Amino acid sequence: MSSPFPQSQPQPPPPTHSSADEAAVGGACGDHGLSRAEFDELRRRATAAKATCYAPYSNFRVGACALSEGGGGPEGAASPYISGANVENASYPVGVCAEVTTLSSAVTSGHRRFRALAVATDVAPPASPCGRCRQFIREFCPLDMPILMFDKNEDFIVMKLEALLPLSFGPENLLPPGAAAAAARGSA
């Protein structure tokens, strides 16, 4: 019996580029609407955020930095850059990834729209956000937003969220509050 779903071939990973390669950085910035200064600041802050992680169990440090749209949040935050790091727990499922701490901090500070997210690790090649993080990012970020992934050498890969989370489920897929109950009453 054949599957009703089309069979796809695994996609090769996107190319990794050096942060020192002016042409590669310029191309990535141009393709994703970022200035060189924004790219450098995202890289710098995500890399620096690794030092603030709490990872005594895995020793896998992850730092992240989000660039909010329109500057600081409504509470007067001066910077559009919000950073975070992974926080582990002895009960492994309780830990929180850097992407989640970053966006949670941003959202609770009043930021609601984002232009880019950078993630930095101590491994090579660059590591991508885990599945849970991809879905969490999807809640707050547009599908065409770039995710910049930096490795221990500050080499990078850039992918749009929609490439990391194809056929995604987001807030727009939910029924408006009360719609399910109203539909059930109407069909009774």
Binding residues for Zn(2+): 97, 130, 133
Residue 159's SS3 state is strand
Q: What CA–CA distance (Å, rounded) separates 28 from 18?
A: 11
Q: Please check whether residue 39 is in contact with residue 87, taking contact to mean a CB–CB distance below 8 angstroms.
A: no
Annotated binding site: 86-92, 97, 130, 133
How big is the CA angle at 36 (ends 34 and 42), to the nearest 5 degrees?
Answer: 75
Q: Which are the contacts of 53, defined by CB distance < 8 A and separation ≥ 6? A: 61, 62, 63, 85, 86, 87, 98
Catalytic residue IDs: 99
